[in-house]
Amino acid sequence: MSEGQCHGDNMMQLHTFCDASLDAYAVVIFLHTENQSRQVSVQLVMAKSRLAPVKRPSIPRLELVACVIGARLTHFVKESLDMPAVHSFLWSDSSTALSWIKRNDEWGTFVGNRVKEICSLTTPEDWRHVPGVKNPADLPSRGCSPAYLLEPRWWEGPYWLRFHPDVWPVEQFDLDEGAV
């Protein structure tokens, strides 16, 4: 594992996944640990979902709100678990929200205020693109049956987090900053 914080004999990382739909937005956080024997464990630490407002903003704005919640919860988890230096990876499938965060430019009020908060809690380099089909936050943002929550995928995160970062989803998306 190339990036992380040592805690005892373990290397640790936090992985925060953000997603939104017209119905809800959600954040899921996993703790990734690797011991000296290179055994990897990924476990659900926290999840949060909220219903989307009745007056529906655009999907890119909802995705940006999910990213704000992701940044807040990541900060909360790091403080609560007394792990301020643990490396965090924040993931979204929204190329528009990621473009806004990574550029941290002078946006309009709605986008600008949220990007400013995200960048005060995280760094743009911490943010990565994940295809929607590989985003575990897709589940709570779209809903599922209670039986599905018993699946290991929900509790243990995406399978690819157990592998070297070289095989994680590659950030290939078109910058789309114009959508509001």
What confidence tens digit (pLDDT) does each residue in 147-176 have?
877 776 778 889 999 988 888 887 665 555
Q: Which pLDDT value is given to residue 148?
A: 76
pTM: 0.88
Whose tokens are 């655009």? That residue is 58
Whose tokens are 């990574």? That residue is 102
Q: Which pLDDT value is given to residue 78?
A: 96
Residue ranges, the chain, pLDDT below 70: 1-9, 152, 171-180
Class of domain 5-167: alpha beta
Q: 132, 136, 112, 133: which is closest to 32 by C-alpha?
A: 136
Number of CB atoms found within 10 A of residue 105's CB: 11
For 142, residues 6+ apart whose C-beta sits below 8 A from its C-beta are 21, 23, 24
